[in-house]
Structure 1
Amino acid sequence: MVQKVVATPEALVWIDKLREQHGPLMFHQSGGCCDGSAPMCYPQGEFRVGDQDVLLGEIGGCPFYIGAAQYEYWKHTQLIIDVVVGRGSGFSVEAPHGVRFLTRSRCFTEEEGQGGV
């Protein structure tokens, strides 16, 4: 079965750097106000996951959650978490480093199907 969320090599390097600084991490992607639907990286336990959040998988050993409403929009795609130069939200731990995580995506092929989480 194809993974619903993966990370680019560059994103994995940043995840490792941030884990060294902050300890265990987790990601959450919502459709909320702060940076739109950008993936947000938090020290594990600093963001409360709710009943409506879906665990998509792990990237770099970190759990990756998405809000249920966003999942409905993205369920036919594989999320590809990348990192780019630029300022993102002040809530995500990479923000002070002048980079931000970014979601790219690709549609699942017919063979891969949409599948459930």
Structure 2
Amino acid sequence: MTKTDPPPARVTATDAATALIKKLTDIHGPVMFHQSGGCCDGSAPMCFPLGEFKTGDQDVLLGEIEGSPFYIGRAQFEYWRHTQLIIDVVDGRGGMFSLEGPEGKRFLTRSRIFTDDEWNILKQTEQSDPAEAP
């Protein structure tokens, strides 16, 4: 990577995840994601109809997957800021509030640590509040 390279995506999706997102969008209309920080449904990426999950100052927009916004809580972002989230799909029951549940699938977050070069590019793009950066 060079200084002119765009910053790496903070969140991406596998082909299986994008296929499921397309299916859910066909059924429910536009969707959004929030990376759960625990509680009722563990630490799963949760899928909701767009706007149904209310975000606020404590949520960070990481980016989009398949045109759908993907948020994470600010405190959790601080733990995961050095990693790229890779949203995947596996068989099984997901979170009881997440749209994919009836499909017999669940979204799953995998991750990888950014390389030094990627991290340097991300740091260059961040403003005064790193959680505000894409």
**TM band (smaller chain):** over 0.9
Q: List structure 1 runs of 4+ shifted beyond 4 angstroms.
A: none
Pairwise CA RMSD: 1.0
Structure 1, unpaired ranges of 5+: none
* Aligned equivalent of 2:97: 91
Matching residue within 35, 44, 59 for 1:29? 35
Residue equivalent to 1:14: 20
Identical pairs, percent: 67
Q: Distance in 1 between matches of 2:41 and 2:116?
A: 32
Scaled by the length of structure 2, what TM-score is found?
Answer: 0.84
Partner of 1:65: 71
Query: Match of 1:58, as an amino acid?
Result: E
Q: Which structure has greater strand proportion?
A: 1
CA–CA separation in structure 1 for the residues paired with 2:115 and 2:28 = 37
Number of equivalent positions? 117
The one-letter code matched in structure 1 to 2:46 is M
State the TM-score, normalizing by the size of structure 1. 0.96
Q: Which structure has greater helix proportion?
A: 2
